[in-house]
Amino acid sequence: MTAYDYDLFVLGSGPAGQRAAIQAAKLGKRAAVAEHRAMVGGVCINTGTIPSKTLREAVLHLSGYRERSIYGASYTVKHDITMSDLLFRADQVIKHEIDVTRHQLQRNGVNVIEGRASFKDPHTLCLATLNGHAEREVTAEKIILAVGTETTRDPHIPFDGQSVFTSDDILSLETLPRTLAVIGAGVIGLEYATIFAALGVRVTVVDKRPRLLPFVDAEVIDALVYHMRGSRVTLRMQEGVKSVERGTNGHSDRICVELDSGKKISAEKVLYSIGRTGATSALNLQNANLSTLDRGLMEVNENFQTEVQHIYAVGDVIGFPSLASTSMEQGRQAACHAFDVEAESVPDLFPYGVYTIPEISTVGRNEEELTRDGVPYEVGKAEYKEIARGQIIGDTTGLLKLLFHIETRELLGVCILGEGASELVHIGQAVLAMNGKIDYFVDTVFNYPTLAECYKTAAFDGINRLS
């Protein structure tokens, strides 16, 4: 026994916090999680990853998008799709994931406390109930901040949650728009832009940057842009937003987005998606001798320690890549380090999944990075339309791309665009982890017909380029 109430206290029950607390419990430590929401799971389950991916799946099914290349552009499973149709599926999945998360925490003996936590001193936290009427204090030897982020809101934008909204407001939308302006072409903005476009909504995307998703292979992004334009999405790149006003030119149901260049975009609804801000403003970090970076994010070292060594920060609150998968691993590693337990990981081989339509997934290095580092490489490609499975499922737009070293033939990177990309990428991830060569894909046998055959086709294409 120690002088502290807990060996580890975690702020936030999202993927990072959940994994950290369970890891500590498995090490025989007394662990607790404080969650300021009425439900566990954090942004990931309640307003972010799970809802957006479930909405995406509902849209793909009800709109008939996957079958249009076979049955024609007019094919649809349901006419007059409503927000209720989409949210019905999301509600079911959210409830299930909340139950699973709570059960996992309970099964591992993690104490879940519903309340808002803030620092009194580096080892003491004040916990206020959700209604704010009661408060108590707890102490902990180690503390992990996994508070996540919240949508960044410009005070000059007239948010109302319906006509002008953020990604956190999606689940409360009452109607689908016929036209939508998306301000911000990050991962979240692009995912929702393509989801709404698949429903036939006329979408305009505005962003200050010259290209989309700079961490993704440029050729794959070019292919995504091509498909987006095929879905009538208009891209306004290198454009800043001057103002957002409602009810202009006598149309009370329209929103006018004026750009710095003087262009004006008229839409029924506007999705504001200019990044996210660390949810740290109410933590009283100064009482723990902690500070934040820009947008409320926390700075950590390679072990996820903050400037106060017994306090760690993991997940979205430390910034890029802000993925549920990487956040889980960060939580596990932080908990292990806190209690002097070795934990190995391969951060260079974390896969990235972008659930646009079509989806993108990548692992390893891309062409731009290899060129910058002076690595001699070659490319092997396979298109879904070359593969029998691609024809069967009706996805003729997909692309799998392999990058490998010219001299050693070692696999260097994988990037995939198309149906099942986020699943398919793990084959390449495994080969990368074993320092495998492109010859592996030539020598191995894949089930037929499967999308996995793309690896063999791309490998043959790459080897043929060498000769």
Q: Are 321 and 365 within one domain?
A: no
- Which of 291, 319, 348 terminates a domain? The answer is 348
pLDDT tens digits, residue range 139-186?
999 999 999 999 888 888 999 999 999 998 988 899 999 999 999 999
Strand, coil or helix: what is 74?
coil
Beta partners for 410?
437
Q: Are 101 and 139 within one domain?
A: yes
Report the C-alpha gap between 149 and 276 in whole angstroms.
6
Closest CA relative to residue 11, chosen from 274, 290, 275: 290
Tokens of 137: 């204090």
348 pLDDT more than 90? no
Strand, coil or helix: what is 280?
coil
Report the C-alpha gap between 83 and 109 in whole angstroms.
39
Q: Are 237 and 294 within one domain?
A: no
> pTM for this structure?
0.91
Q: Are 178 and 326 within one domain?
A: no
Q: Are 284 and 146 within one domain?
A: yes
Q: What confidence score (pLDDT) does residue 368 get? A: 94
- Which of 223, 246, 274 terminates a domain? The answer is 274
Backbone angles phi, psi at 323, to 5 degrees: -115, 150
Q: What is the arithmetic mean of pLDDT over 90-106?
A: 91
Q: Are 111 and 56 within one domain?
A: yes
CATH number for position 259: 3.50.50.60
Beta partners for 255?
246, 267
pLDDT tens digits, residue range 258-297?
999 999 999 999 999 998 999 999 999 999 999 999 889 9
Report the C-alpha gap between 343 and 401 in whole angstroms.
32
- Which of 212, 240, 274 terminates a domain? The answer is 274
Q: What is the arithmetic mean of pLDDT over 356-380?
A: 96
pLDDT tens digits, residue range 248-260?
665 667 999 999 9
Q: How far apart are the first and last CA of the chain?
A: 68
Beta partners for 286?
none
Contact at 8 Å (CB) between 322 and 335?
Answer: no
Report the C-alpha gap between 355 and 358 in whole angstroms.
7
455 pLDDT more than 60? yes
Closest CA relative to residue 117, chosen from 288, 279, 283: 283
How high does pLDDT run on average in the chain? 92
Cβ burial, residue 145 (10 Å; 0-12/13-18/19+) = buried
Report the C-alpha gap between 445 and 381 in whole angstroms.
18
Percent of the chain with pLDDT over 90: 76
pLDDT tens digits, residue range 287-327?
999 999 988 999 999 999 999 999 999 999 999 888 888 99
Q: What confidence score (pLDDT) does residue 79 get? A: 85
Q: Are 198 and 104 within one domain?
A: no
Q: Are 307 and 195 within one domain?
A: no
134 pLDDT more than 70? no
Q: What is the domain range of residue 66?
A: 6-151+277-348
Q: Are 216 and 301 within one domain?
A: no
Closest CA relative to residue 387, chosen from 461, 454, 459: 454
Q: Are 362 and 341 within one domain?
A: no
